[in-house]
């Protein structure tokens, strides 16, 4: 996904071709004019700025001395004493009402709410819709959006900024832009593949929102020095990961982070670590474990993880004592497997008696990602029998095109050979032409004609963790309109919809 974004922003045009799931094959040309108003790409401070502040702790250095230089955990806690730092929602009723009006919260009266009241099923004409048991907004994402809305109301005369996308959903981010919340620009950089953020427009007294993924400790220090009001919407589960890598640094362990080095959350997590190495999957972890057990080509190792390690990383020195952490949107099962592999490797090398001196781990896995995937596996478990009433004819996956967790949902449908259409908004569906512009799991943007067939059809629907219910409702409105031109919409109906309490999860 990251490669796709880079091409999108660096090429005047981009040719996207892919094999159509059905009969039509189309080449799409994306021009600069087709780009969204804001770049919203993963970004950070320059590598030089980031690394100059990152504290390293390894067996060859004094962890205590490093913490005296700069204690990231103590700094973050000190923000609470400034009077310029907010990290919990206020549950302002008017902000919640505006979220409902804008369609960026949970549905309380629309189609999705009514479907949940009917066992996650809906029949409209000859279309049967099955909604995944676990789908859409996780509580941390909804919490972040709520805090952004509350900030706009709480500081009506202030200039508001946000350091990145609040979440990976284009409609939600556009709503914030319409509310005059300015997105910090990211400029091209010769030394930083992610670009350099430009905070020059942020002034003393302004309000700056940190997104659900969090922000690097260097960004927080810069904003504190500028004496701005910080509204920190970081998901508490992400903060839990930061505490884990901080503990590992204090004990002189290198943090092995399961994640994507360019993802905003992992950039932030790495900034709270001491010495770190980022692995994206089991294949890279096996490579690291083989080096731990047998040694290897040091220069090859450093080249392989060029963008995914702390400054001055030395595999011969920094893999003697390790800890495990993760990007919360990665697969729960894969994170667990990586942790077990690292643990077994250190046990083989040092023995059970010395394991605790060389390996540490704490549970930082967020269940939201895995629950949504498990729900899709359950929903697609009825494909073997043509007579099974829950057998799907197709799947629709709704979520931002730069959403990592949404791409995994699309991937499941493709693996099961179910025609699957990943759209970020209902606008991707042309009702008059019965066409859909959609994305495949590995990044191709394609257009499919006649994607909704005549006759009865059963559609499985799910959405990523950054997708509000209204996005699903917009998509299904267009589906129903294609199948029945006389369709006039679903009348609102107030229902009792359970909402997760933020207070149940605050750290």
- Using CB atoms within 10 Å of the CB of residue 437, give its burial: 0 to 12 exposed, 13 to 18 middle, 19+ buried: middle
- DSSP-derived letter for residue 44 is B
Distance CA 414, CA 386 (A): 19
CA distance 292 to 4: 33
Q: Rounded CA gap, 26 and 9, in Å? A: 22
- Evaluate the CA torsion angle 152, 157, 158, 159 in order and state its sign: positive
Closest among 327, 237, 240, 211 to 276, alpha carbons compared:
327
- Of 462, 452, 459, nearest in space to 482 by CA: 452
* Helix intervals (H) in 192-281: 217-225, 236-250, 264-272
Cβ contacts of residue 394 below 8 Å, gap of 6+?
Answer: 418, 419, 420, 421, 451, 457, 459, 460
Pairing verdict, β 196-198 and 229-232: unpaired
Q: Rounded to whole angstroms, how far apart are CA atoms 249 and 246?
A: 5
Q: Residue 460, Cβ neighbours under 10 Å: how many?
A: 25
Confirm whether 219 is a catalytic residue: no
Q: What's the Cα-to-Cα distance from 234 to each of 214, 241, 265, 416, rounded to whole Å?
A: 5, 11, 9, 35
Point out the catalytic residue in the list 165, 219, 265, 447: 265
β-strands 14-16, 457-463 pairing: unpaired
What does the block give as tokens for 25?
């094959």
Tokens of 498: 């359970």
Q: Which positions are catalytic?
A: 265
């Amino acid at each position: 996904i990251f490669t796709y974004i880079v091409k999108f922003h660096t090429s005047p045009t981009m040719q996207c071709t892919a094999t159509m799931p059905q009969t039509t094959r189309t080449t799409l040309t994306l021009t600069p004019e087709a780009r969204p108003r804001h770049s919203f790409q993963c970004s950070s401070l320059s590598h030089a700025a980031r690394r100059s502040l990152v504290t390293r702790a390894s067996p060859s250095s004094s962890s205590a001395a490093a913490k005296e230089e700069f204690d990231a955990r103590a700094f973050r806690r000190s923000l609470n004493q400034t009077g310029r730092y907010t990290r919990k929602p206020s549950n302002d009723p008017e902000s919640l009402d505006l979220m409902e009006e804008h369609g960026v919260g949970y549905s309380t009266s629309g189609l999705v709410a009514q479907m949940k009241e009917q066992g996650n099923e809906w029949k409209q004409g000859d279309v049967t819709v099955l909604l995944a048991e676990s789908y859409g907004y996780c509580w941390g994402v909804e919490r972040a959006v709520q805090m952004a809305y509350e900030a706009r109301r709480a500081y009506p005369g202030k200039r508001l900024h946000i350091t990145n996308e609040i979440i990976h959903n284009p409609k939600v981010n556009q709503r914030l832009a319409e509310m005059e919340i300015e997105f910090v620009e990211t400029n091209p950089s010769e030394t930083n593949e992610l670009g350099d953020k430009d905070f020059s427009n942020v002034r003393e007294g302004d309000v700056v929102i940190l997104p659900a993924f969090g922000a690097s400790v260097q960004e927080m220090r810069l904003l504190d020095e500028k004496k701005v009001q910080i509204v920190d919407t970081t998901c508490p589960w992400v903060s839990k990961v930061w505490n884990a890598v901080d503990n590992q640094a204090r004990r002189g362990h290198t943090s092995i982070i399961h994640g994507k080095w360019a993802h905003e959350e992992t950039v932030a997590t790495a900034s709270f670590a001491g010495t770190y190495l980022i692995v994206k999957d089991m294949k890279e972890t096996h490579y690291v474990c083989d080096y731990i057990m047998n040694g290897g080509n040091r220069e090859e190792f450093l080249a392989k993880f060029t963008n995914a390690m702390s400054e001055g990383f030395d595999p011969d020195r920094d893999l003697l004592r390790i800890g495990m952490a993760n990007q919360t949107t990665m697969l729960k099962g894969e994170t667990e497997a990586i942790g077990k592999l690292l643990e077994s490797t250190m046990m083989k090398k040092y023995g059970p008696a010395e394991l605790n001196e060389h390996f540490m781990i704490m549970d930082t896995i967020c269940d939201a990602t895995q629950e949504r995937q498990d729900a899709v596996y359950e929903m697609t478990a009825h494909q073997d029998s043509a007579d099974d009433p829950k057998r799907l004819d197709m799947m629709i996956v709704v979520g931002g095109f730069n959403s990592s967790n949404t791409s995994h949902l699309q991937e499941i449908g493709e693996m099961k050979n179910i025609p699957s259409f990943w759209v970020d908004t209902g606008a991707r569906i042309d009702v008059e032409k019965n066409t859909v512009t959609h994305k495949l799991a590995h990044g191709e943007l394609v257009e499919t004609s006649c994607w909704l067939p005549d006759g009865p059809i059963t559609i499985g629907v799910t959405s990523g963790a950054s997708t509000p219910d209204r996005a699903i409702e917009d998509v299904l409105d267009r589906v129903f309109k294609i199948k029945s031109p006389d369709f006039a919409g679903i009348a609102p109906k107030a229902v009792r919809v359970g909402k997760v309490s933020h207070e149940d999860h605050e750290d």
